[in-house]
Structure 1
Amino acid sequence: MPKLVKLYIQQVAIGFALAVVFVGMLLWANVANLAHLVFNTSGGYLALFLLIFFNGIVFGGVQFAIAIMRMAGRDDDTSGGKPLRDLTRYATNPQPIAIPVHRDDRRG
């Protein structure tokens, strides 16, 4: 199996584990009376499954994106870009610019 696929499966599994913990905390804190709705209605377990599933998709995607972004190598070039030599000429000697203004007679 390619390394990237292994990484993806691993990070998605971590994301789903985080989703289970997150939904567990939602139910424990009874946010918006969610625990009562999940455990005392006929479709409550379906709602619990969907909460875990959709949060798992989101958390797994974020976890994988973070893992991919952390793989970027460090740039050795620390020059900071090209210097703007002409910027000092404009900053020390400002010139006024005429802006034509046309009066609209209809407004009074």
Structure 2
Amino acid sequence: MPKLIRLYITQVLIGFGISGLFVALLLWLDVANLWTLIRGSDVTLLAIAMLWFMNGIVFAGVQFAWAVMNMAEKDEGPKGGSLVAHGFVPVRVVAKSVKKAR
């Protein structure tokens, strides 16, 4: 299996795992009475599965993007910009008035 595909599958599984923890915490802490609302419904499992899956898509995408961006090579050059001090000199600007049309 190519390394990129293996990386993608691994990061997606990690993202869905994080989503499972997130949904479990949401329901356990009863944020915005979410668990109370879901528990009183007749489609409890469907609601939990949808909540996990939709958050899983987001977390998996973020996890994969973070993994790809973390693969960038680190620059060894100087950092922080120029060490030369810049002097600021005020410049006079003439403002002309514009006559209003009637």
Unpaired stretches in structure 1, ≥5 consecutive residues: none
TM-score by length of structure 1 reads 0.77
- Tell me the residue number matched to 2:38: 38
- Cα distance between partner residues in 2 of 1:80 and 1:17: 37
Q: How many Å separate the matches in 2 of 1:81 and 1:23?
A: 41
CA drift of 1:16 comes to 0.2
Gaps in structure 2 of 5+ consecutive residues: none
Once residues 82 and 30 of structure 1 are traced to their aligned partners in structure 2, the CA distance between those partners, rounded to angstroms, is: 48
Summarize the Cα distance change of 1:75–1:28 in structure 2 as closer, same or farther, 3 Å threshold. same
- The structure with more radius of gyration: 1
Tell me which amino acid in the other structure corresponds to 1:25.
L
Q: Identity over aligned residues, as a percent?
A: 44
SS class of match (1:67)? helix
Root-mean-square deviation (Å): 2.4
**Deviation (angstroms), 1:84:** 8.1
* CA separation of 1:75 and 1:37: change in aligned 2, threshold 3 A: same
Verify the 8 A CA contact 1:15 1:63 in the aligned structure 2.
Answer: yes
Shift of 1:81: 8.6
Matches of 2:82 and 2:2 in 1, distance apart?
43
| Separation in structure 2 between the aligned mates of residue 51 and residue 82 of structure 1, nearest angstrom | 46
Q: TM-score, normalised by structure 2?
A: 0.81
Match of 2:92 among 82, 98, 105: 98
Instruction: Give the AA of the match of 1:79.
Output: P
2:23 maps to 23
Query: Which amino acid in 2 is paired with 1:37?
Result: L
Deviation readout 1:31-79 (Å, 9 max, x if unpaired) = 1111111122023322211110011011111111111111112223x13
Conserved in 2, the CA contact under 8 Å of 1:39 and 1:45?
no
Alignment of 1:80-91 (within 5 A): 80=79, 88=86, 91=87
